[in-house]
Amino acid sequence: MNMNSNQRDIPFGSFQHLNRNVGDRKVVLFGAGDGAHKTGRKLGREYAFIVDNNPNMWHTIERNKDVLDPEEIKGRSDEFFVLICTTSFVEVSKQLESFGFSPQNDYIVSPILNDLRIISELENHCAKLLFTSGLPEIDDKECGGGVYELKLKGHLWEYRKVYSGICYGIIEFEDTFITIDDKLGIVQMDQDYNVLKSKELKHATRGHGLSYSEKYKRFYVVSSYRDSIIVLDQEFNSVDEIFVSGKFEQCGEPEHHCNDLCVVDDSLYISMFSHTGNWKRDIFDGVALEVSLVDHSILKPVISNLWMPHNISFLDGSLTVLDSLRGELKTNNARPIGRFPAFTRGLDYDGIFYYIGQSRNRNYSKNLGLSLNISIDTAIVIFDPVTKASRTIGLPQKLSEIHSILLLKT
């Protein structure tokens, strides 16, 4: 999990939590000032006194309560339960632990500071990830198609191109990375991004999404140009092709605009612009279509009413999809839990935050009347689904396309 642990370890809680844990101890507020005042008003019980690390505040009176040296409570967790009321809650939390106070049991951060928790977490967050771009391949370290590595450490971040190509899906496989390159086909790289092997796909395939089944020992590649899923063995040999309908065979052209896919047990789920194959006629009846991996039969849509959907994954026990043109992240019975202003493509999840790609919106006219903020920026958004807070890592305008995101272990 790519989470800065010292942030998640800070004991934020509620007044109900305090009431359950305080017992017969006295309540002490840590940090004089407005935070203590607001906490005192909402506390619903008397508190004994305030402690503060500023010596100039010691032995003063604040709202009829003494302000004392924190040393007064050192080693006395059996007598006091502490509410941290200062924005320096990371430092104070460490200080209280050195005093023998246990987080949650003996102290919490005042609930009035809960909004600052997510801000602090996002600002101090550390992560490492790969993202792909399907732009044309050019000799530029900062843009063009390829695979990019992005490192985020608090307020600082940097990215670099680690592989040049026209790249779409990317997965991790047995300590290697596998991506789809429109020129080379399926490409396997080591942890240092050296190419180990590659194999061309069928001509005019436009491989896009990529997934792997551990049960069946097969790779599955979406072919956007053939309305199909190409099935490969572990040596990247083609062993089957599953067409989502008979339309490609009838007209020789793609009609569904299949994009991405994921494997869950015996099922394969594919995102596509049009279930009926009419997106060229401006009918965007997008779906997530289920395919049986047992007999490769086409089943039924499990999510409908999507508009240009792309990345689809099984995250946190739920089928999750990006409804790209609407800019919606849909999960938990396909409900929208987040909305973003650019063309939303590229998705991963660390158990706490979603990582969502934002590409230049080339279809912005279709969004008129649907969105009041149509972004043309390129970025990766780190999104907390609980608080709805997010942090945007802006990327240069010339890097206009993101297709997939893969979180790495840090």
pLDDT above 60: residue 3 = no
Domain end position, chosen among 95, 122, 149: 122
**CA separation, residue 84 to residues 24, 29, 68, 203, 365 (Å):** 19, 6, 14, 64, 50
In a domain, 152, yes or no: no
Domain coverage including residue 19: 5-122
pLDDT band for position 159 (50/70/90)? very high
Q: Is-contact 262 275, C-beta < 8 A?
A: no
pLDDT band for position 387 (50/70/90)? confident
Amino acid letter, 367:
N
**Which of 27, 26, 43, 36 lies closest to 61 in space, CA to CA?**
36
> Within this chain, do residues 376 and 254 fall inside the same structural domain, yes or no?
yes
> Within this chain, do residues 17 and 95 fall inside the same structural domain, yes or no?
yes
pLDDT of 182-201, one tens digit each?
999 999 999 999 999 999 99
In a domain, 188, yes or no: yes
> Within this chain, do residues 174 and 280 fall inside the same structural domain, yes or no?
yes
In a domain, 184, yes or no: yes
Angle at 272 between CA 209 and CA 221, to 5 degrees: 25
In a domain, 324, yes or no: yes
pLDDT of 58-79, one tens digit each?
999 999 999 999 999 999 999 9
Q: Is-contact 63 40, C-beta < 8 A?
A: yes
> Within this chain, do residues 49 and 176 fall inside the same structural domain, yes or no?
no
Collect all residues with Cβ–Cβ distance below 8 Å to 333 and sequence separation of at least 6: 318
Domain end position, chosen among 61, 88, 122: 122
Collect all residues with Cβ–Cβ distance below 8 Å to 45 and sequence separation of at least 6: 27
CA distance 188 to 185: 10
CATH code of residue 116:
3.40.50.720
> Within this chain, do residues 220 and 354 fall inside the same structural domain, yes or no?
yes
> Within this chain, do residues 210 and 326 fall inside the same structural domain, yes or no?
yes
> Within this chain, do residues 99 and 232 fall inside the same structural domain, yes or no?
no
**CA separation, residue 292 to residues 270, 289, 301 (Å):** 11, 10, 12
In a domain, 402, yes or no: yes
Q: What is the mean pLDDT of residues 306-327?
A: 96
β-sheet with 298-306: strand ranges across? 258-264, 267-272, 286-292, 298-306
Domain end position, chosen among 70, 98, 122: 122
Q: Is 285 helix (H, G, I), strand (E, B) or coil?
A: coil
User: What is the distance of C-alpha 241 from the center of its chain?
Assistant: 31
> What's the confidence (pLDDT) of residue 33?
93
Q: Is-contact 165 183, C-beta < 8 A?
A: yes
**Which of 325, 172, 200 lies closest to 259 in space, CA to CA?**
325
In a domain, 231, yes or no: yes
Angle at 340 between CA 339 and CA 345, to 5 degrees: 110
Q: Is-contact 82 76, C-beta < 8 A?
A: no
In a domain, 106, yes or no: yes
> Within this chain, do residues 114 and 218 fall inside the same structural domain, yes or no?
no
> Within this chain, do residues 265 and 176 fall inside the same structural domain, yes or no?
yes
Average pLDDT, the chain: 92
Q: Is 23 left (phi over 0), alpha (psi -120 to 50) or beta?
A: left
> Within this chain, do residues 288 and 381 fall inside the same structural domain, yes or no?
yes
| pTM over 0.85, yes/no | no
> Within this chain, do residues 75 and 176 fall inside the same structural domain, yes or no?
no
In a domain, 149, yes or no: no
CATH code of residue 276:
2.120.10.30
In total, the chain counts a number of residues equal to 410
> Within this chain, do residues 251 and 369 fall inside the same structural domain, yes or no?
yes
pLDDT band for position 6 (50/70/90)? very low
Q: What is the number of domains present in the chain? A: 2
DSSP per position, 167-219: EEEEEEETTEEEEEETTTEEEEE-TT--EEEEEPPSTT--EEEEEEETTTTEE
